[in-house]
């Protein structure tokens, strides 16, 4: 509302719970609350409680939205202050906390006596995918605080104070903060505070949106901002809004400030709630029939919020929005190629535009010869883009899934020539003997980068691998990998489909012919009839590189195995001594001598992408009951997946279920969505 309208309503009983200066939240009717039944699944689905002990503390989870590069937590109940922890700034140094609490609020009576014991008065705090909220109450006052995002640049914190006593209270509200030592300095400019860092080109702004504030800054590291006395009659409420903006030079502060000035907090929060409700409703509605219950719906809500917290708008070197693998691990503050393909598939059913941009984000860096970079970052002074290798070819799969979900011929036209170049690059630079079967490799001739290119960095199949040169800047491992060639088979099938979208029927026919020819090669060369498993081979194709790993069921996911071969692989997958363990379908057989989940990144842990490929492979060949049972077993076995509060991990110990490595891992979340929803 405009200020003049607010003045008219200032002491209106009918609008008692409005934020009187245009920025508050009204009480929702029961009918309104019922309209957000899917959003209720996200209530406290992740535990955001935590107080940063220092600038680098990553013990807690952080909440963000709208692709913002900054996030917040909820203070632990034992801490006696208001507001929200943070923000945690991903705008500099791969993540630092600006402050324990950038806007801590104190209430005093008549400008002197503390009016509130925040610790004693804390009565409730909740999180949703739309916002964070806290409630404090004693015999005299009730204080409600909520935080939601206006945009990828700005968060808004609303505080509503209600006089519960039987007499008029004269209150003064004071905001303050002391910054951590992160190179950020605070200054006052006109009616707002400005935060500048010597380690980032993002600039922060704090604005107080209701009243005039008496502001003071001390040594560039702390501030106070105080209102005039506010008289609250019994039952009356007063509302107070603060905006936090952290904005890169690519965005206009003046335009952002105009949006902030027009904000109606009540309407903004309803918009965020409706947005998340619609997304969650789509996910739940698309759930597989066997998983249609509240327990599995909550897993979808947890996966959805995990992806949301890793979402980043374009900045610096990154020209399109996309997802981090995990904001929680400092070296995952960028975009990776095969992570991106997987994220996009997980996003398609509820955020197709974000899924498209996730694809574009990597193809922005495509080289003329078709090569796709392994990973890219906002700030290359912190980390350089990795052009030493790429990642397995799953891009056409992701684009086809997007197109199936939301028809878009323009997007198909945009991506098809790029996908063709990427696919053809494999045969130009990664087929050492030019026999139509490819190898993983590197651009710099190093063995480590070639192993990275597989995505399965230290898998046992690469223990004895060597590097061979194909040409200038093109090297291969001395083995042909079954998963790579199965992925390439699937790419041909999906390229045939996309070619139809762009009205290239002859090219579609050619892709299908190439796929059929490759199918025979894969079935013949990589399948060991004696062991009933698919293995990598040497370059000549006459020696298997033994050691049953998850690469062995990729042909089932790609639909390239014969029925007989699929049956043999299925039997080994369902063997409880091999792969059907507590958290089924881990990266290598449990009975192998080198199986070591706690000391081997890809030598035993269960990665949910590989488990998904295995379960979808079973579905492809009609083993639906096996797929359903092992999906449920995985969910039950992986620690915390079915419980509220616990994060989704990078991978899991297959025998104990313990979550391993990075928390809040995006492709794990994306594949949980794939496991629980209908395939398109």
| Cis amide leading into 87 (omega within 30) | yes
**Residue 273 domain-assigned?**
no
**Could you tell me if 140 and 205 lie in one domain?**
yes
Write the CATH number for 419.
1.50.10.10
**Residue 445 domain-assigned?**
yes
**Residue 276 domain-assigned?**
no
The answer to whether residues 457 and 427 touch, using CB atoms and an 8 Å cutoff, is: no
Three-class SS state of 364: coil
**Could you tell me if 159 and 218 lie in one domain?**
yes
Secondary structure E strands in 453-509: 467-471, 474-477, 479-480
**Residue 159 domain-assigned?**
yes
CA dist 165 and 649 (Å) reads 47
* pLDDT for residue 78: 60
* pLDDT for residue 115: 86
C-alpha distances in Å from residue 73, one per residue of 208, 505, 531: 21, 53, 51
pTM of the complete model: 0.94
Domain endpoint, select from 212, 232, 266:
266
Q: Specify the DSSP element, H or E, that contains 141.
A: strand 141-149
Q: Which of 474, 482, 483 is nearest to 430 (CA)?
A: 474
The answer to whether residues 526 and 482 touch, using CB atoms and an 8 Å cutoff, is: yes
The answer to whether residues 611 and 648 touch, using CB atoms and an 8 Å cutoff, is: no
Rg over CA atoms, the chain: 27
Domain endpoint, select from 234, 266, 298:
266
**Which parts of the chain register pLDDT below 70?**
1-34, 77-80, 111
Count: domains in the chain: 2
**Residue 277 domain-assigned?**
no
Write the CATH number for 173.
2.70.98.50
* pLDDT for residue 15: 30
**Could you tell me if 233 and 327 lie in one domain?**
no
Domain endpoint, select from 235, 266, 297:
266
The answer to whether residues 266 and 131 touch, using CB atoms and an 8 Å cutoff, is: no
CA dist 672 and 31 (Å) reads 32
**Residue 600 domain-assigned?**
yes
**Could you tell me if 387 and 344 lie in one domain?**
yes
* pLDDT for residue 32: 45
DSSP string, 224-262: EEEPPPEEE-TT-EEEEEEEEEEE-TTS-HHHHHHHHHT
Domain region containing 632: 286-676
**Could you tell me if 227 and 294 lie in one domain?**
no
Q: Which of 180, 173, 169, 168 is nearest to 215 (CA)?
A: 173
**Could you tell me if 192 and 68 lie in one domain?**
yes
CA dist 450 and 563 (Å) reads 32
* pLDDT for residue 482: 98
**Could you tell me if 576 and 630 lie in one domain?**
yes
């Amino acid at each position: 509302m405009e200020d003049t309208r607010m003045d008219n309503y200032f002491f209106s009983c009918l609008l008692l719970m409005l934020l009187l200066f245009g920025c508050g939240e009204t009480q929702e009717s029961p009918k309104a609350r019922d309209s957000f039944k899917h959003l209720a699944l996200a209530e406290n689905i992740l535990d955001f409680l935590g107080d940063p002990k220092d600038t680098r503390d990553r013990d807690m989870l952080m909440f963000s939205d709208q692709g913002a590069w900054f996030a917040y937590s909820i203070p632990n109940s034992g801490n006696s202050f208001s507001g929200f922890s943070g923000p945690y700034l991903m705008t500099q140094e791969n993540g630092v906390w600006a402050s324990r609490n950038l806007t801590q609020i104190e209430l005093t009576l008549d400008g002197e006596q503390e009016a509130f014991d925040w610790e004693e008065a804390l009565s409730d705090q909740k999180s949703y995918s739309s916002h964070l909220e806290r409630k404090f109450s004693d015999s005299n006052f009730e204080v409600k605080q909520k935080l939601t995002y206006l945009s990828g640049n700005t968060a808004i914190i609303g505080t509503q104070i209600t006089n519960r006593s039987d007499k008029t209270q004269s209150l003064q509200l004071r905001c303050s903060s002391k910054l951590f030592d992160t190179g950020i300095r605070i200054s006052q400019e006109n009616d707002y505070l400005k935060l500048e860092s010597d380690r980032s080109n993002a600039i922060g702004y704090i604005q107080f949106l209701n009243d005039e504030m008496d502001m003071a800054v001390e040594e560039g590291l702390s501030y106070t901002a105080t209102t005039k006395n506010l008289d609250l009659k019994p039952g009356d409420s007063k509302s107070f809004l603060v905006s936090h903006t952290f904005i890169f030079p690519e965005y206009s502060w003046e335009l952002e400030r105009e949006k902030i000035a027009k904000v109606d907090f009540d309407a903004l929060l309803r918009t965020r709630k409706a947005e998340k409700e619609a997304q969650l409703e789509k996910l739940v509605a698309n759930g597989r029939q066997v998983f249609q219950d509240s327990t599995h719906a909550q897993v979808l809500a947890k996966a959805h919020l995990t992806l949301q917290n890793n979402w980043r708008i374009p900045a610096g070197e990154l020209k399109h929005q996309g997802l981090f693998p995990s904001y929680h691990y400092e070296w995952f503050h960028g975009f990776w190629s095969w992570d991106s393909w997987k994220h996009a598939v997980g996003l398609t059913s509820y955020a197709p535009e974000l899924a498209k941009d996730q694809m574009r984000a990597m193809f922005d860096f495509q080289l003329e010869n078709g090569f796709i970079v392994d990973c890219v970052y906002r700030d290359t002074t912190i980390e350089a883009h990795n052009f030493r290798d790429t990642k397995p070819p799953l891009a056409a799969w992701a684009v086809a899934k997007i197109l199936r979900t939301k028809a878009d011929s323009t997007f198909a036209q945009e991506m098809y020539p790029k996908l063709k170049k990427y696919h053809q690059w494999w045969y130009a630079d990664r087929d050492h003997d030019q026999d139509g079967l490819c190898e993983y490799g590197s651009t710099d001739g190093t063995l480590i980068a070639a192993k990275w290119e597989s995505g399965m960095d230290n898998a046992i199949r690469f223990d004895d691998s060597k590097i061979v040169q194909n040409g200038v800047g093109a090297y291969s491992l001395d083995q042909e990998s079954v998963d790579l060639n199965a992925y390439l088979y699937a790419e041909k099938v999906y390229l045939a489909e996309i070619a139809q979208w762009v009205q290239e029927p002859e090219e579609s026919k050619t892709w299908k012919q190439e796929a059929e020819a490759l199918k025979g090669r894969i079935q013949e060369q990589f399948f060991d009839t004696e062991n009933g498993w698919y293995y990598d081979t040497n370059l000549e194709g006459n020696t298997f590189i033994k050691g049953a790993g998850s690469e062995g069921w990729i042909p089932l996911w790609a639909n390239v195995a014969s029925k007989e071969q699929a049956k043999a692989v299925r039997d080994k997958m369902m063997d409880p001594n091999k792969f059907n363990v507590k958290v089924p379908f881990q990266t290598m057989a449990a009975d192998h001598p080198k199986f070591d989940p706690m000391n081997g990144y890809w030598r035993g842990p269960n990665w949910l992408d590989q488990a998904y490929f295995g379960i979808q492979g079973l579905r492809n060949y009609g083993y639906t009951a096996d797929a359903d049972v092992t999906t449920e077993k995985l969910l039950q076995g992986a620690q915390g997946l079915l419980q509220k509060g616990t994060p989704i991990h990078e991978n899991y110990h297959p025998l104990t279920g313990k979550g391993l490595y990075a928390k809040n891992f995006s492709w794990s979340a994306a594949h949980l969505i794939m496991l629980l929803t209908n395939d398109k």
